[in-house]
Amino acid sequence: MTGADCLFCAIVAGDVPGSTVLADDDFVAFLDHRPVFKGHTLLVPRRHVVTLPDLPAELRDGFLAHGQRLATAVVEGLGAQGSFVAINNVVSQSVAHLHLHVVPRTKGDGLRGFFWPRTRYASDAEQEEYAGRLRTALDGT
């Protein structure tokens, strides 16, 4: 998929309607059309970027700063007690354009989280091997 056939690029360009809540030269935030709760907002870079690892370094600070602002806005503007903030990369990413979900939360709202399958490491050594592999990957970035 390219920016030319991306739903979020079309929303950013104004070719598809979206309820925009924030816009600047680099980012746009708009309401999710199928919200978990009313006020569920999606933050996207204007530039077609597919996943968080693809986000150019010069956009990282702005992306997080706007995420913080949106997390505050759902509390101050909607009366939520907090927020759920998430990014899917490839798996469960319904639109192949980086987007940060900011979902307003209230205690007792019924959202029970994710039901992820759990696994175990075969041994402490296997666990340390995985930790080491991640440290190596992080040292290379």
Q: Which residues have a catalytic role annotated?
A: 99
**Domain assignments of the chain as residue spans, ordered by start:** 3-115
Per-residue pLDDT, 3: 67
pLDDT (tens, 9 = 90+) of the chain, 141 residues, equals 456 789 999 999 999 988 999 999 999 999 998 898 899 999 999 999 999 999 999 999 999 999 999 999 999 899 999 999 999 999 888 899 999 999 989 998 888 766 545 568 799 888 677 766 767 776 775
Using alpha carbons, select from 128, 21, 116 the residue that is nearest to residue 136.
128
CA 44, 45, 50 angle in degrees (round to 5)?
A: 85
Quote the pTM value: 0.85
Q: What is the DSSP string of 91-126?
A: TT-SSSS--EEEEEE-TTSS-----------SSHHH
**The two three-digit tokens of residue 98, written as one number:** 């980086």
Do residues 96 and 5 lie in contact, with contact meaning Cβ atoms separated by under 8 Å? no
Handedness of CA 13, 34, 85, 120 (dihedral sign): negative
What's the rounded Cα separation, in Å, for the pair 16 and 138? 38
Q: Which CATH number fits domain 3-115: 3.30.428.10, 3.20.20.140, 3.60.20.10, 3.20.20.240?
A: 3.30.428.10
